[in-house]
Structure 1
Amino acid sequence: MENRMKVRIKYVVEDTDRHGSVRVYLRKDGRKLRLHGPLGSPDFWREYHAALKAPPKKRGETKTVPGTIQKGTMRWLVAQYTASGMFKQLGAKTQKDRRATLERFCNNIPKGKTLPDGELPFDKLQPKHLRLRRDAMVATPEAANTMLKALKQVFKFAVLYEHLAANPAAGVEPLKSKGDGYHSWTLEEIEKFEKVHPIGTTARLALALALYTGQRRSDLVQFGKQHVRDGWLTFTQFKGRENRPVRLELPIIPELQRILDASPTGDLAFLATAYGKPFTAAGFGNRMREWCDKAGLSDCSTHGLRKAAASRLAELGCTEFEIMAITGHQTSKEVTRYTKAASQRLRAESALAKLTGTKS
């Protein structure tokens, strides 16, 4: 059996969070400062020595006690926001994701600093500080933009409830995203999936539902016989159902009906697990990942089928408003992003047809 010697470093303590993850802190002079990097690594020692030089708490200053939050800090403002009606009106998943984003922000210690962002006074933060924080995440622009979006809402809350006079994040621009997001399935990839997963399998039914309805996985898993009326699929989209519900009626085209009739389905949902139970959205996403991998489609995903459905409609000459009637988008911004490649192809084809016509 391997014997490991535990090395103790002065003032360094370890805490285990509710997820079982071990976090390292320097506890000295009433302060508890988070340290990053593996123990003994250059990043760890850099932060350790910087934390040692941090000034002790002044007499009369509130002592940091685990489980308490100092008023006036970003962590305090975040706590006020997440306890507000403004936050509680959000959907459960949005609340969960935003809490996680804001917790990461509050726990982060910028390079060269000794205090985590959560201990900074929120009324001293300026747009330049938030831009620096955003720019530190340039390698992951989507995560940076998610953080920025969350902070804008926190500061919007602060202005509405008169904790601040102005929103310092309002004018901070998001980073440009890498590429066009999720990969849109090509016709060849769809055919490859169909070859590996024939009609009569749950995998093929999942593909057909996604491709011929253009809906998110959170909607695909809820579809069942109870949503079918006179050959139409009638439902309220899962996303935004609590605040801005979108009700859709989509025709079940013959090809989708043919696959439905030939497929095993559950009592409450068309897509069912091996035990006959409806999938959760996350569970379905994991299962779809397995089906795609089996077909050798590592770049493909459920959301990529939603994008492919919109692109197909664009290639058929559908307008943005016609596509929005299928996908349920409330603005054309996302639809335009989905269909950009298809629109370019149509315009090129039209231009060359005119050129050919001119020459003839």
Structure 2
Amino acid sequence: MKKSYPFASSFLDRHGKRRWRFRRKGYPTHYFKAPHGTKDFEREYAACLEADPIRAGVDRTRPGSVSDVIARYYGDNAFQDLRDSTKVVYRGVLERFRASFGDDPIKRFDADRIARLMNAMRHKPHAAARLRKLLAQLFVIARRAKIVPASFDPVKDTRAPKVAESEGFHPWTEEELETFEAKHPLGTKPRLAFALLLYGAQRSGDVRFMTHGSIQGGRIRLRQSKTSTAVDVPVVEPLEQALEAGPLGKVTLIETKDGEPFTQKGFYNLMKRACIVAGLSHCSPHGLRKSAARRCREAGCSDEQGMAITGHKTVKEYRHYAGTSDTAARADVAMAMVMANRAKKVAKEQPQTLEKEGI
């Protein structure tokens, strides 16, 4: 059965080559780069579905306004060369900013005004940092277009609110992993997703778009969407059992009841509901990747060996996921060394004390 993609249609370009585009009323038009039906095509399609609608009147922008510069940025290579998933995130930030300040001249956003924006977003430090980063991009565009003077760079004189240190998503304990497996047996969609996240050690964004071709010769081979890191991970027995039990989709391994790839929100809700049913409401799919990294560390894997499985690019990031629960063990060793050294000094000093006392 041929898979359908609502709002996507094919056409012949001027060279006679068949191409595909996404056209939906009120939403940005997108021309697909990947071949139809491939995993990368599915990623682009999902990004199109999650894109924000175009704001009414966006084409009637005032020259030099925030809307004008945002439109220029969308057409610039700095935006066009981003991953589709990143474009969706950036569009969301910029369209919310446009909704509030679209008609304002960009040159009115001096350092003082941007600093006040950052202060107003102290309760959302991550969002503030992302907005500040994108404002810097907008001013690059504005300077290049001579909308503002070449020396006008107000963002550099501001800073985003500090992000409080956080351990992030809860890493599942072994007991919690066993509880989930007991509640959701093999042959269920949550168990299949669980196995791919835990035993494949991949992000939800990559698990959602894994196809049958991603698993060949008993190995998971893919290029991670977030970092473009190529991973080559063996399919271990628990994952093999889950894949054999299914249910598998026709194109992607995990599909909705309509035979479509899950959206980011839909996949999260699938797993979150399964966690709640299992009495694990504090757990989430994101924490399973941390559990996979923790298992690598507890098994004595080196950082490089663990990173080969998870696909992390830096040791620092991998260790953040793998955890540092061996601190107590290191403290035990250190204290044992301290006490042994102390005993050695006492043993050395004792003969001298006895000699002085004439014993």
TM-score by length of 2: 0.69
Q: Distance in 2 between matches of 1:105 and 1:275?
A: 35
Task: Give secondary structure in 1 for the equivalent of 2:167.
Answer: coil
Task: Give secondary structure in 1 for the equivalent of 2:220.
Answer: strand
**Residues 212/120 of structure 1: CA separation in 2 closer, same or farther (3 Å cut):** same
**Which residue does the alignment assign to 1:158?**
142
Deviation at 1:206, TM superposition (A): 1.1
TM-score by length of 1: 0.69
RMSD: 2.8
**Which residue does the alignment assign to 2:78?**
86
Q: Give the share of equivalent positions with the same residue, in percent.
A: 34
**Residues 326/66 of structure 1: CA separation in 2 closer, same or farther (3 Å cut):** closer
Contact 2:212 2:251 in 1 (8 A): yes
Superposed, which structure 2 residues align to 1:64-79 within 5 Å? 68-79=60-71
Q: Establish whether residue 100 from structure 1 lines up as the match of residue 111 from structure 2.
A: no
Residues matched between the structures, number: 283
Task: Give secondary structure in 2 for the equivalent of 1:265.
Answer: coil
The equivalent position to 2:211 in structure 1, one of 214, 224, 231, is: 224
Superposed, which structure 2 residues align to 1:5-84 within 5 Å? 68-84=60-76
The equivalent position to 1:138 in structure 2, one of 98, 106, 122, is: 122
Deviation at 1:197, TM superposition (A): 0.8
The equivalent position to 1:263 in structure 2, one of 246, 251, 259, is: 246
Task: Give secondary structure in 1 for the equivalent of 2:155.
Answer: coil
**Which residue does the alignment assign to 1:193?**
180
Task: Give secondary structure in 2 for the equivalent of 1:235.
Answer: strand
Q: Distance in 1 between matches of 2:236 and 2:93?
A: 41
Deviation at 1:173, TM superposition (A): 3.1
Superposed, which structure 2 residues align to 1:328-343 within 5 Å? 328-339=311-322, 342-343=323-324
Q: Establish whether residue 215 from structure 1 lines up as the match of residue 202 from structure 2.
A: yes
Q: Distance in 2 between matches of 1:324 and 1:158?
A: 41
Alpha-carbon deviations, 1:25-66, whole Å to 9, x = none? xxxxxxxxxxxxxxxxxxxxxxxxxxxxxxxxxxxxxxxx98
- Aligned letter for 1:101? V
Deviation at 1:222, TM superposition (A): 2.4
Q: Distance in 2 between matches of 1:224 and 1:205?
A: 13
Deviation at 1:352, TM superposition (A): 0.9
Bigger radius of gyration, 1 or 2?
2
Deviation at 1:210, TM superposition (A): 0.3
Q: Distance in 1 between matches of 2:74 and 2:59?
A: 16
Which aligned segments of 4 or more residues in structure 1 are displaced greater than 4 angstroms?
A: 159-164, 274-278, 357-360
Q: Establish whether residue 351 from structure 1 lines up as the match of residue 308 from structure 2.
A: no
Structure 2: state its 5+ residue gaps: 1-25, 28-56, 341-359
Superposed, which structure 2 residues align to 1:152-301 within 5 Å? 152-160=136-144, 163-164=147-148, 165-166=150-151, 167-170=153-156, 172-178=158-164, 179-239=166-226, 245-274=228-257, 278-301=261-284
Structure 1: state its 5+ residue gaps: 1-17, 20-64, 109-116
